[in-house]
Structure 1
Amino acid sequence: MTSITRNLPWFIRDLGISIVGKKCYTSLIENLDIGDVECIKYSISKGLGIGIVVGGSIVKVPQLLLIVRAQSARGLSLPAYILETLSYAITLEYAYRNEFPFSTYGENLFLTIQNVLITILIILYAPRVASTDKTANAVIASLGMLVFFLGCSLIPLPMLAVLQLTTLPLSLFSKIPQIQQNYRAQSTGQLSAFAVLSQVLGCAARLFTTATEVGDSIVAAGFALALVLNLVLGAQLWMYWGRDDVEAPAAVTEKVKARASPAPAASTTSTSVPAYKPEPASWQRAATPPPSSPSLGGRKWARKVD
């Protein structure tokens, strides 16, 4: 068997070496040494990393399509996406400046781009805002994020390490507004289940790849916190699945009371009952002249006698 694996075409050999390195390629592919635990863990980490990068390039496309099709960003928190975008950008720049393998952070590039687009769409589809104001806000937000990205690429590396520490509270505060909004509305609105599930799996895999290939505790702590918060969002998706936005409890209570209360019945006391009048005595009936006909103007007529 080794005679085959040692004579694979050059393009397969070069691809394998570029992914797992010459040492692990020789051990696992050419020599078929399945007892090399270190190379097996490294190869699994590389495979997961490449899968995450490829998945990260499309993970938020369903969220973008949901917003565009519905022409609404209902249920999505603007502060949450702004803070999440900043966190992705800092992690991307920190990993790039420290020359980490691209397979350990590449998805941050695609997630940052997709988050910028989602943030702009949230602004453009904001309710009760004039169209000119929406456009101006979208332009300002885009320019602000661009300036921030350029600033991260210019600051010294020690300061960038401090910024990487801030991704921990950024991750926390980027998810809390979305979690609170879901809880208040008892609905997840246009939040994409595919995006949340992919982020849960991606964060779990990133903990493994970071520990195997990078060993940076700051980056690992960020992924661990993001995993916990994405699990909370996943639990909310499960609990509120199929629900639409609900009204405030007070308004719902008033509507339920209004529907439950019967229509007011007609009051029996308001019906006019004719008062009792005693029948006149016989002598009164005889003395009372017959009523005159109203159509004849009250005049009396007698039979004409010839």
Structure 2
Amino acid sequence: MSILYSETTLKAIGYDETPEFCYKEILQRRPSMQGSCWFILFTKALGYFLIASATISQIPQIFKILRRRNASGVSFVSMLLMLEASSSSVAYSLSKEYPINSWGENLVFMLQNVILVCLVLRYNKRPLASLSFMIFYIVVMIVLILPVIPSDVILFINIIGLPAASASRIIQIYTNHKNKSSGQLSATSTFLCIFQSCGRLTTSIVLTKDWIMVLTFLQVIILNIVLTCQVLYYRRSNKSK
């Protein structure tokens, strides 16, 4: 989930400068403003960096399923919860007109998670369900994006996205444990998810100081570490057998 930081957020935590203003101040080398301005530009750059890293996070998983033509071990419910988390954040951010560098990685996650859900259905021999889900999802997202749903409803959907992201990891961890195998899960993708969560933990500590979100992202990091260790363990175990 994305930590939303815009000009309004920066002012709320004591920074009246905007990134555009800071560019000029730093170029003119005014020492009195450079401290806070460097902080603002750092957070802005971090937002874009997280978007860039998100573009590759699930690609290894997608390619592995396509290459093996097999989605065994990948929990459909887990992928569905991850899709809810990213989609709700996108809908909420668009409704609030937040700058894309504060939530853009969730747009990438959303697209990747849609593909993964459809692939899991497709390779579980449910091609019609995959097509039907894609059509249904597009309709739902159009309804969420258009200003026809009350903002309180979109806010609620966005709030439940945080526990949904944690629940998705727990479900996948349980699935691996039950199967004694990680199936077609990609270790690269799970590792990149750790990196992504660490970045969002940093922005939540530095920018919002919202300890509920900090603890949530810390929990997600721990769960992603456990999941990555599971994938590596079962991969080594299967090779030894």
Check 1:147–1:211 CA distance in 2 against 1; reply closer, same or farther (3 A cut): farther
Larger Rg: 1
Equivalent residue number for residue 144 of structure 2:
152
Q: Contact between 1:83 and 1:171, CA under 8 Å: does it hold in 2?
A: yes
Distance across 2 between alignment mates of 1:81 and 1:217: 26
- Please state how far the C-alpha of 1:34 moved relative to its aligned partner: 9.4
Secondary structure class of the residue paired with 1:191:
coil
Indicate which of 28, 36, 40 corresponds to 2:38: 40
Summarize deviations over 1:22-47 as a string: whole Å, max 9, x none.
33223333307498332222222222
Secondary structure class of the residue paired with 1:244:
helix
Check 1:228–1:29 CA distance in 2 against 1; reply closer, same or farther (3 A cut): farther
Q: Contact between 2:190 and 2:224, CA under 8 Å: does it hold in 1?
A: yes
Equivalent residue number for residue 114 of structure 2:
116
Equivalent residue number for residue 262 of structure 1:
none
Equivalent residue number for residue 142 of structure 1:
134
Distance across 2 between alignment mates of 1:91 and 1:243: 38
- Please state how far the C-alpha of 1:214 moved relative to its aligned partner: 6.0
Distance across 1 between alignment mates of 2:224 and 2:32: 35
Q: Contact between 1:46 and 1:209, CA under 8 Å: does it hold in 2?
A: no
Q: What are the within-5 Å matches in structure 2 for residues 64-83 of structure 1? A: 64-83=62-81
Check 1:65–1:34 CA distance in 2 against 1; reply closer, same or farther (3 A cut): farther
Read off the aligned partner of 1:165 and give its amino acid letter.
I
**TM-score normalised over the length of structure 2:** 0.80
Equivalent residue number for residue 232 of structure 1:
226
Distance across 2 between alignment mates of 1:148 and 1:217: 32
Aligned-pair identity in percent equals: 25
Read off the aligned partner of 1:135 and give its amino acid letter.
P
Read off the aligned partner of 1:236 and give its amino acid letter.
Q
Read off the aligned partner of 1:232 and give its amino acid letter.
V
Question: Which blocks of at least 5 consecutive residues in structure 2 are unaligned?
Answer: 1-17
Equivalent residue number for residue 189 of structure 1:
183
Distance across 2 between alignment mates of 1:89 and 1:119: 13
Secondary structure class of the residue paired with 1:189:
coil
Distance across 2 between alignment mates of 1:147 and 1:218: 32
Distance across 1 between alignment mates of 2:212 and 2:90: 13
How many residues are paired up?
A: 222
Check 1:232–1:29 CA distance in 2 against 1; reply closer, same or farther (3 A cut): farther
Check 1:160–1:218 CA distance in 2 against 1; reply closer, same or farther (3 A cut): farther
- Please state how far the C-alpha of 1:122 moved relative to its aligned partner: 0.9
Equivalent residue number for residue 196 of structure 2:
202
- Please state how far the C-alpha of 1:207 moved relative to its aligned partner: 2.6
Equivalent residue number for residue 161 of structure 1:
155
- Please state how far the C-alpha of 1:91 moved relative to its aligned partner: 0.9
Read off the aligned partner of 1:209 and give its amino acid letter.
T
CA RMSD, Structure 1 to Structure 2 (Å)? 2.7
Distance across 1 between alignment mates of 2:97 and 2:35: 25
Summarize deviations over 1:148-167 as a string: whole Å, max 9, x none.
32232231212211112211
Q: Contact between 1:197 and 1:234, CA under 8 Å: does it hold in 2?
A: yes
Q: Which moved more, 1:108-117 or 1:32-41?
A: 32-41
Secondary structure class of the residue paired with 1:36:
helix
Q: Contact between 1:57 and 1:107, CA under 8 Å: does it hold in 2?
A: yes
Summarize deviations over 1:266-296 as a string: whole Å, max 9, x none.
xxxxxxxxxxxxxxxxxxxxxxxxxxxxxxx
Q: Contact between 2:43 and 2:203, CA under 8 Å: does it hold in 1?
A: yes
Distance across 1 between alignment mates of 2:127 and 2:136: 14
Matched, 1:21 2:19: yes
Equivalent residue number for residue 172 of structure 2:
178
Secondary structure class of the residue paired with 1:72:
coil
**TM-score normalised over the length of structure 1:** 0.64
Distance across 2 between alignment mates of 1:34 and 1:189: 56
Read off the aligned partner of 2:137 and give its amino acid letter.
M
Distance across 2 between alignment mates of 1:185 and 1:117: 24
Read off the aligned partner of 2:88 and give its amino acid letter.
I
